[in-house]
C-alpha cells in the first residue's frame, strides 16, 4: 500500500524547515518565561500552536507574507473587513479568479507546521494532564478554522501514512466537541490534584494578563463549544442544542463575559501581529466598502478605533500627470474600497488614499472576544436553546464590544440609524445602494429572521478584525449582507449573488496524492471550487 502520502511528505519538509524555528522559540521562551530545558520540552510545541493559530509561528521573523496569503487576501476580504489594493492582486481573489497559491496556504502551512506541533504536544504531555488539556483545546481552535475554510479535513487520523485519513466536516465537528470534553476533563483533573498550581501561566500568550489560569482555559473551551454549537444549529439542531447546554451549564466553569477576557496572541511576548506588518509596512490593508456603509451609516463609536481617515485627492502618476480625478472630496472622511472592480495597473492603485486599518504590529491578534460570546448567547436564546433574554444578550454584546475598544456606547443601543449608500470616489458605476436596513436598536416585535440579522450584523462589527470568524458566520447566515463583486471571473463556479462559499484545496494534493484528494472531494459532496457549500452552510437561517 502506498506510503508517505501527500501530508506525510509535507510534514517531513515542514519539520526540516521548522527545526531552526523551534530553536529560536526555545531560546526566546527560556529568556521570557524562565523555564528550565526539562520544562521547556512540555511547553515548546504549545507555544508554536499559540502563535500558529493566527499564523506567525516564528515570532514575526519572515512570516508576514505567509499570513497575508493565509488570511488577509481571502478571509479578511471575503468578510468585508479589508481590501488589499495592490494592483497585482486586484485581478485574482478579489474578482473570484482564485489564486491557488493563496487559497491553499491555510491548508499547507497549518498541516506542515502547526498541526505537527499539536501532535507532538499531545505525545509529550501524556503525563502532564493540565498541559494535555490545553493542547486539546488549542487543537480544536486551530482545526475548526481549517474545516470552516475548506470543508472535510484530515483530523482524527492525522499523520496516518496509509489508507483514507479524511474526516467529513460533520465527523470533524463531532470530534471537536469530544476533544473539548477531554480537554476540560483533563484540566479539571489536574486542578483537583494540584490546587493553586498553574503549569502553563508563564508560557501562556493567549489568555489575558492576570487571567492566565487553567480555569480561564476552561472558560475559553466552553465559549469555543458555544461557537461551534451555534455553527451547526441549522445542519444538526439536536447536536447544537445539546452542546449549547453543556457550554452554558452553571457547573461547567463559565464562558467569556467581560471586556477584559479577550483571547488574543499577546504582543508582549515578542510576537508581532502580521496584519500590522501588512498594514503599516506594506500599506495594503484598506477599509472594505461594506464596513464604510455600516459603520458610517450607524455613526458607530468603534469606527475611529477600527480605521484611519482617508487622505483623498486625485490620483496622479510619478510625474504628476493626472490618471483619474476624484469625483467627490473624501479627505478627512472614512472611505472604503469596493471588492471586485477588477481595476488594475492602468489606474495606479486609485484607492491608495482611502481609509486604512488601525491594526499595528503591536496590536494583540484577536481570536475570540466576550462580545462574540454574548452574540452567540443571543442567537442561542433566539433559537430556543436557552431561556436567556435575547435583547439583553444582544445589548450586552454591543456594550462589551465598545468597552473592549475603549469607546462609550452612548445612545447607540437606541439608535434608529441605518447603513449608508456607498459612493465611489472616482466612478459612479461603482456606487452601491445600502443592502442592510436593520438598525442598532433592538426590535422585540420583529420577525425571528430580522432579529437574527440584527444579531449577526452587530456580531460582524464586534468580531473585527478577525476575518476568519466573520466570513464563516456571514456564509452560515447570509448576514450581514455584503456588497457583491462587480466583476466575477470564476468561470461560473461562484454565483455573484450567493457569493464565495469556501476555498479550494491546494492543487498539489490532486497532483501528489490523488487518493486523498478523491476522498476529500467525495466527503465534500460537490465540486472543489469556491461555489460549493459546506456542511453547516445550509442556505437557510431557521
pLDDT above 60 (res 485)? yes
Percentage of the residues of the chain whose pLDDT score is greater than 70: 90
Give 36's pLDDT tier (boundaries 50, 70, 90).
Answer: low
What is the Cα gyration radius of the chain?
A: 23
pLDDT above 90 (res 318)? no
pTM here?
Answer: 0.93
Give 287's pLDDT tier (boundaries 50, 70, 90).
Answer: very high
Three-state DSSP state, 256:
coil
Task: Tell me the C-alpha distance between 525 and 162, whole Å.
Answer: 23
Task: Tell me the C-alpha distance between 287 and 293, whole Å.
Answer: 11
Interacting residues of 161 by C-beta distance below 8 A, sequence separation 6+: 3, 4, 5, 8
Count CB atoms within 10 A of the CB of residue 16: 9
Structure-model confidence comparison of residues 179 and 32, the more confident one: 179
Structure-model confidence comparison of residues 248 and 9, the more confident one: 248
The residue among 306, 303, 355, 300 whose CA lies nearest residue 332 is 355
Residue 343 corresponds to which cell in the numbers above? 481595476
Q: pLDDT at position 345, please?
A: 60
Q: pLDDT at position 163, please?
A: 66
The residue among 272, 291, 261, 274 whose CA lies nearest residue 404 is 261
Give 20's pLDDT tier (boundaries 50, 70, 90).
Answer: very low
Give 19's pLDDT tier (boundaries 50, 70, 90).
Answer: very low
- Per residue in 49-108, pLDDT (tens digit) is 999 998 887 654 557 889 999 999 999 999 999 998 776 788 899 999 999 999 999 999
Q: pLDDT at position 116, please?
A: 93
Three-state DSSP state, 211:
coil
pLDDT above 90 (res 249)? yes
Highest mean pLDDT range out of 1-10, 11-20, 403-412? Answer: 403-412
pLDDT above 70 (res 432)? yes
Structure letter (DSSP) for residue 422: B
Q: pLDDT at position 347, please?
A: 65
Contact 466, 366 (CB under 8 A): yes
Q: pLDDT at position 226, please?
A: 99
Q: pLDDT at position 57, please?
A: 76
pLDDT above 50 (res 15)? no
Give 300's pLDDT tier (boundaries 50, 70, 90).
Answer: very high
Give 162's pLDDT tier (boundaries 50, 70, 90).
Answer: low
The residue among 31, 256, 57, 269 whose CA lies nearest residue 142 is 57
Q: pLDDT at position 29, please?
A: 37
Can you count the helices (H) and strands (E) in the chain?
A: 20, 6
Give 4's pLDDT tier (boundaries 50, 70, 90).
Answer: very low
Task: Tell me the C-alpha distance between 135 and 187, whole Å.
Answer: 10
Contact 151, 523 (CB under 8 A): yes
- Per residue in 127-152, pLDDT (tens digit) is 999 999 999 999 999 999 999 999 99
Amino acid at each position: 500500500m502506498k506510503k508517505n502520502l501527500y501530508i506525510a511528505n509535507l510534514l517531513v519538509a515542514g519539520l526540516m524547515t521548522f527545526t531552526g524555528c523551534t530553536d529560536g522559540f526555545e531560546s526566546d521562551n527560556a529568556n521570557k518565561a524562565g523555564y528550565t530545558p526539562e520544562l521547556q520540552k512540555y511547553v515548546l510545541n504549545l507555544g508554536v500552536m499559540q502563535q500558529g493559530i493566527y499564523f506567525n509561528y516564528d515570532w514575526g521573523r519572515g512570516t508576514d507574507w505567509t499570513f497575508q496569503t493565509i488570511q488577509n487576501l481571502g478571509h479578511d476580504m471575503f468578510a468585508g473587513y479589508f481590501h488589499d489594493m495592490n494592483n497585482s492582486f486586484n485581478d485574482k481573489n478579489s474578482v473570484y479568479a482564485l489564486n491557488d497559491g493563496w487559497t491553499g496556504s491555510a491548508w499547507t502551512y497549518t498541516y506542515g507546521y502547526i498541526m505537527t506541533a499539536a501532535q507532538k504536544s499531545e505525545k509529550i504531555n501524556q503525563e502532564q494532564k493540565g498541559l494535555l488539556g490545553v493542547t486539546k483545546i488549542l487543537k480544536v481552535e486551530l482545526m475548526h478554522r481549517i474545516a470552516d475554510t475548506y470543508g472535510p479535513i484530515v483530523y482524527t487520523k492525522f499523520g496516518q501514512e496509509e489508507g483514507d485519513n479524511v474526516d467529513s466536516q460533520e465527523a470533524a465537528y463531532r470530534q471537536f466537541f469530544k476533544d473539548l470534553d477531554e480537554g476540560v476533563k483533563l484540566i479539571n483533573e489536574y486542578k483537583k490534584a494540584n490546587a493553586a498550581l498553574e503549569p502553563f501561566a508563564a508560557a501562556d500568550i493567549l489568555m489575558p494578563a492576570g487571567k492566565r489560569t487553567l480555569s480561564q482555559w476552561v472558560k475559553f473551551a466552553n465559549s469555543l463549544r458555544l461557537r461551534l454549537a451555534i455553527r451547526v444549529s441549522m445542519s444538526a439542531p439536536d447536536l447544537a442544542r445539546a452542546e449549547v447546554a453543556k457550554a452554558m451549564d452553571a457547573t461547567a466553569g463559565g464562558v467569556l463575559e467581560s471586556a477584559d477576557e479577550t483571547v488574543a496572541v499577546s504582543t508582549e511576548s515578542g510576537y508581532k501581529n502580521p496584519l500590522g506588518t501588512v498594514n503599516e509596512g506594506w500599506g495594503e490593508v484598506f477599509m472594505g466598502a461594506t464596513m464604510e456603509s455600516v459603520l458610517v451609516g450607524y455613526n458607530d463609536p468603534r469606527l475611529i478605533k477600527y480605521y484611519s481617515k482617508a487622505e483623498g485627492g486625485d490620483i496622479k502618476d510619478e510625474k504628476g500627470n493626472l490618471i483619474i480625478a476624484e469625483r467627490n472630496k473624501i479627505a478627512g472622511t472614512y472611505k472604503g474600497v469596493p471588492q471586485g472592480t477588477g481595476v488594475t495597473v492602468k489606474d495606479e492603485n486609485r484607492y491608495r488614499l482611502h481609509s486604512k486599518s488601525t491594526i499595528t504590529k503591536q496590536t494583540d491578534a484577536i481570536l475570540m472576544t466576550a462580545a462574540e460570546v454574548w452574540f452567540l448567547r443571543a442567537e442561542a436564546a433566539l433559537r430556543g436553546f436557552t431561556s436567556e433574554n435575547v435583547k439583553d444578550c444582544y445589548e450586552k454584546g454591543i456594550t462589551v464590544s465598545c468597552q473592549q475598544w475603549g469607546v462609550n456606547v452612548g445612545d447607540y443601543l437606541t439608535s434608529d440609524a441605518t447603513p449608508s449608500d456607498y459612493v465611489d470616489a472616482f466612478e459612479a458605476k461603482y456606487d452601491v445602494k445600502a443592502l442592510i436596513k436593520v438598525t442598532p436598536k433592538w426590535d422585540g416585535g420583529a420577525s425571528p429572521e430580522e432579529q437574527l440579522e440584527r444579531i449577526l450584523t452587530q456580531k460582524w462589527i464586534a468580531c473585527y478584525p478577525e476575518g476568519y470568524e466573520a466570513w464563516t458566520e456571514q456564509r452560515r447566515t447570509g448576514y450581514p449582507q455584503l456588497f457583491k463583486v462587480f466583476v466575477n471571473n470564476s468561470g461560473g463556479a461562484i454565483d455573484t449573488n450567493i457569493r464565495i462559499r469556501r476555498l479550494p484545496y491546494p492543487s498539489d494534493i490532486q497532483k501528489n496524492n490523488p487518493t486523498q484528494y478523491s476522498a476529500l472531494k467525495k466527503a465534500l459532496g460537490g465540486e472543489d471550487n469556491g461555489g460549493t457549500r459546506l456542511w453547516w452552510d445550509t442556505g437557510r437561517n431557521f
